[in-house]
Amino acid sequence: MTPETALRRALVACVRATGVDYAAGLRWQRTAASTLRSGEGRESLALIEHASVYTAGARAGLQSLRVERDRLRAPLVEADRGGDITWHGPGQIVGYPVLDLRARGLKAGDYIRSLERVIIAALAELGHAGEVVDGRPGVWVDGAKVAAVGVRVRDGVSQHGFALNVDADLRWFDDIVPCGIADAAVTSVATLSATPVSIERVVEAVRAAFVAEFFVTLIGAENWNAQARAVEAWVAERWG
């Protein structure tokens, strides 16, 4: 795909799922990225909720743990993304865009700004004023972090993405220094809202903002279970 092609509205396969094991989500990303780089696949976006897990970015250390590792209430796994330690789990939308950034003419920093704009636009649709803070990646509302952003780019193709707290139990963050920022709190859409907001409404706001930011059309993909089975077979075939 050339930059000129990327300017035309692209079709992006969108997957929505809940209760996804982090390892399965990682395998899905790697498979989607590999097939996109090979020219056999298309750009994709997964909007999922993970089973509870703590993840540590490639350069993260254990200094961001507030308790001993064996006292964490969920597994801690290493992730090949930027950023420090964070939590993923129910009530949090995790977005994994697998995009051809090279064809889109986007550098990593520009892409991160685009993801932040997606979250800010989605929050605006829900009546909240999100913002970015210099030196602190992610999206913030009234001094508290509502969404984390951490990506990996290999051969021009993106992996990982963002995590937006919707109605997550924020006590999961008590055992860590979220994203390594000790002097700031985390918040959620539910905490900010006077009335309950369904997670599916937030998903739709994120989808609409993603469409507008990246000038794409989201199309239905195979359901997550079918994709996960395909990923398992792909991994087994290549690495046993």
- As annotated, the active-site residues are 179
* Helix/strand/coil for 134: coil
Whole-number Å distance between alpha carbons of 205 and 147: 14
CB 186 within 8 A of CB 85: no
φ and ψ at 165, to 5 degrees?
-75, 120
Geometric angle at alpha carbon 116, from 1 and 113, rounded to 5°: 55
DSSP 137: E
Q: DSSP letters of 174-199?
A: GGB-GGG-TT--B--HHHH-SS---H
Residues 6+ apart with CB under 8 A from 67: 175
Do 156 and 103 form a contact (C-beta atoms < 8 A)? yes
